[in-house]
Amino acid sequence: MTLRIVRVGDDGTLLDWQRVHNEIIPTAVLSVDEVRERSTRNVLEVAYDGEVLVGCSTVRPPSEETDAVTVIARVLPPYLCRGFGTALYRHCVAQAEGAAVETHILASNEDGLKFAVAQGFAEVETYLLPGDTVPFVLLRRG
C-alpha cells in the first residue's frame, strides 16, 4: 500500500472526491457545484494507492451546533479491509488537533459503523435527512 492523500484543489481532485462520495452515499448525491462550495468550508481530500483512486475524506471544523471536529473517511468497496480506511482516518483525526471528534455514517454501511466503534466512537443519534429513506448515524469520540 502506497497511500497518497491530496487536498482537493483542482477539477481532477474535485471530480475524484465527488465520485467517491456519491458512490458511498448514493442517498445524498452531490453536484460539482455543491462539492466546490463544501471545499470552501471544509478540508476535502482524496486518497490514492499510487495513482489509483481509493477514497476521500472530509474534515469539518467545529460549528455552532457542535464543539467537535467532524471527520469522515470513505473508501471504495474494492479497497476495503486493506488498511486504507485506517490510514485515511488517522490522517484526518490528526487534523482535529486533540478536539473531540464526530463522524456521520450511513446506517446501511455496517462495515463503516463497525470500523467507527472499533476506533472508539459511540452512537449519539440517528437522523434522517429531508427526502431520504436511509438514516445517518452520528457517532462521537472524546
Prediction pTM value: 0.91
Q: Looking at residue 80, what is its pLDDT?
A: 92
pLDDT tens profile 56-79: 999 999 988 889 999 999 999 999
Amino acid symbol at 136 = F
**Contact at 8 Å (CB) between 59 and 95?**
yes
Q: Please tell me the total count of domains within the chain.
A: 1
Of all residues in the chain, the percent with pLDDT exceeding 70 is 99
Q: 19 vs 98, which has greater pLDDT?
A: 19
For residue 95, what are the domain limits?
Answer: 3-141
Beta strands per DSSP E along the chain: 3-7, 43-49, 52-60, 69-75, 101-106, 122-127, 136-141
Q: Output the domain CATH number for residue 135.
A: 3.40.630.30
pLDDT at 118: 92
